């Protein structure tokens, strides 16, 4: 089901999985469409000396355009907006992800922070 790109997300709140997500720089984007199952996306994120991976499952309408690029000025961050959209009640879709600078977007059913990260990185999601 294609969702309208003009959906108003004014009632969407930041997803609690990662506070202040726009402060993290996107360092990696991996999209996987397995033979069986739903599409997945892994986003690598970095902030100062911390790094983590966000794993999104049940990805739909994944889009990367030429607008998605490195920060325009050294030191700027291409952060990510991770929104809780459960209020839309769309057949299990719970998350909207968008690059803060545009050019990357998708919907997802679930998200988790990757396993095997140092404890300091895990604590960072509660900043």
Query: What's the pLDDT tens digit per position in 4-14?
Result: 444 566 667 87
Q: What pLDDT is recorded for position 19? A: 83
Residue 110 CA to residue 82 CA, distance in Å, equals 11
Residue 44 placed within a domain: yes
β strands within the chain, DSSP E: 13-14, 25-32, 39-47, 50-64, 80-84, 95-99, 104-108, 110-113
Query: What's the pLDDT tens digit per position in 17-50?
Result: 888 888 888 888 999 998 888 999 999 998 888 8
Residue 103 lies in domain: 13-124
Residue 68 placed within a domain: yes
Residue 2 placed within a domain: no
pTM score, whole prediction: 0.76
Residue 3 placed within a domain: no
Burial of 63-87, coded b for 16+ CB within 10 Å and e otherwise, reads eeeeebeeeeeeeebbbbbbbbbee
Q: Contact at 8 Å (CB) between 123 and 72? A: no
119 vs 86, higher pLDDT: 86
Name the one residue in this structure whose structure tokens are 């919907």: 107
Residue 53 CA to residue 42 CA, distance in Å, equals 6
Residue 8 placed within a domain: no
pLDDT band at 75 (very low <50, low <70, confident <90, very high): low
Query: What's the pLDDT tens digit per position in 94-112?
Result: 889 988 777 899 999 999 9
Residue 37 placed within a domain: yes
pLDDT band at 85 (very low <50, low <70, confident <90, very high): confident
Residue 76 placed within a domain: yes
Q: What pLDDT is recorded for position 117? A: 45
Q: Which two tokens stand for residue 91?
A: 């057949």
What domain count does the chain have?
A: 1
Residue 20 placed within a domain: yes
Q: Contact at 8 Å (CB) between 64 and 29? A: yes
């Amino acid at each position: 089901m294609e969702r309208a790109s003009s959906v108003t997300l004014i009632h969407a709140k930041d997803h609690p999985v990662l506070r202040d997500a726009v402060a993290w720089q996107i360092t990696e984007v991996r999209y996987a469409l397995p033979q069986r199952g739903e599409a997945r996306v892994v986003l690598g994120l970095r902030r100062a000396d911390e790094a983590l991976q966000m794993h999104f499952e049940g990805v739909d309408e994944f889009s990367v355009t030429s607008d998605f690029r490195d920060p325009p000025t050294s030191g700027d961050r291409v952060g990510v907006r991770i929104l809780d959209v459960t209020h839309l009640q769309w057949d299990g879709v719970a998350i909207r992800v968008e690059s803060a600078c545009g050019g990357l977007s998708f919907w997802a059913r679930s998200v988790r922070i990757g396993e095997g990260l140092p404890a300091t990185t895990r604590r960072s999601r509660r900043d």
